[in-house]
Structure formats: C-alpha cells, structure tokens
C-alpha cells in the first residue's frame, strides 16, 4: 500500500487523540494508493477493543463508493501492543479485500504502522499476510 506521509500523520494523530482507547477508521483511495483518511467512532470505546459505529460504517462505505473510490483499508490502533493482528482481529475480520492497517502506540514516541490482509476462514497459520506499507 502506498501511504502518503500526511495520511500516516493523520492516522497517528487520531490514535493519539483516542488514547488510551483504540481508534478506528477507513482509508480510501484507488487500487493500493491511499488518498484520504476517514476517521470513525469506536462505539466500544475501550483500550482493548474497537467496533466501528455501524451507522458511521455504512455512511463512510457509501461515501467511498459514491466518490468512485476504493476502500483501501480499515485501520485501528493498538495502544499497548505491537502493530500485529491479535486473535480477535483475525476472528472479526469479515472483510477479505481491504487491508487491515494497525497503528501501534506501544512506544509513544515512535508509532508504527503496518498493513495486513486477513482471512478469518483460512486454516490457522495462513490467516495473516503482511503487505508492505510504502511511505510516499
């Protein structure tokens, strides 16, 4: 995924704003090129879980569709753990096409952004595949 630095900054800023809770949102673009960040509300509002507000989810997905864009990724933050999908992340990954982007604030001074394709129904060991994030 090609991620302009300005968008990476927006995602990190969102994660910091919501800290200690997890943040979530969508990344729109074309193909593997991210062009804008759409922050959403974590309806769960806890440090260990995110559930995107379902109404917002519907509206944001429609907005991306109406603009003729692709839903490049779904992002969320890990506030105390690495930028790697948890068991819960995999179990609840209903969307096989967009990437799942995780921003980690484990080291608050050095946030890390990584991207993964998740396949919840694949055999264990084949559910997570990392995709490179290219800063542009």
Partner 1 sequence: MSTVKIPPVLRQAAGGERTVDVSGATVGEVLTNLCDQHPAVGAQILTPDGELHKYVNVYVNDEDARLLQWTDTPVGDGDTLMILPAMAGGAR
Which chain residues interact with partner 1 by CB under 8 A?
A: 22, 24, 26, 40, 44, 46-52, 54, 57-58, 61, 65, 74, 76, 78-81, 85-86, 88-97, 100, 121
Q: How far is CA 4 from each of CA 15, 74, 89, 120, rounded to the nearest angstrom?
A: 17, 16, 25, 29
- CB distance 90 to 107 below 8 Å: no
Find tokens 């090129």 and name the residue. 33
Residue 121 or 125 with smaller CB distance to partner 1:
121
Residue 3 or 71 with smaller CB distance to partner 1:
71
Residue 52 or 113 with smaller CB distance to partner 1:
52
């Amino acid at each position: 995924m090609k991620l302009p630095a300005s968008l990476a900054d927006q995602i990190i800023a969102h994660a910091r704003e919501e800290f200690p809770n997890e943040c979530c949102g969508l990344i729109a673009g074309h193909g593997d090129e991210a062009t804008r960040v759409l922050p959403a509300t974590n309806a769960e509002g806890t440090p260990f879980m995110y559930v995107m507000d379902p109404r917002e989810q519907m509206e944001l997905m429609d907005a991306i569709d109406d603009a003729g864009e692709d839903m490049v990724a779904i992002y969320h933050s890990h506030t105390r753990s690495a930028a790697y999908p948890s068991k819960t992340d995999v179990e609840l990954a209903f969307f096989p096409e967009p990437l799942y982007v995780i921003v980690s604030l484990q080291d608050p001074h050095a946030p890390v952004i990584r991207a993964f394709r998740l396949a919840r129904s694949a055999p264990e060991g084949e559910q997570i595949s990392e995709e490179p994030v290219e800063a542009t």
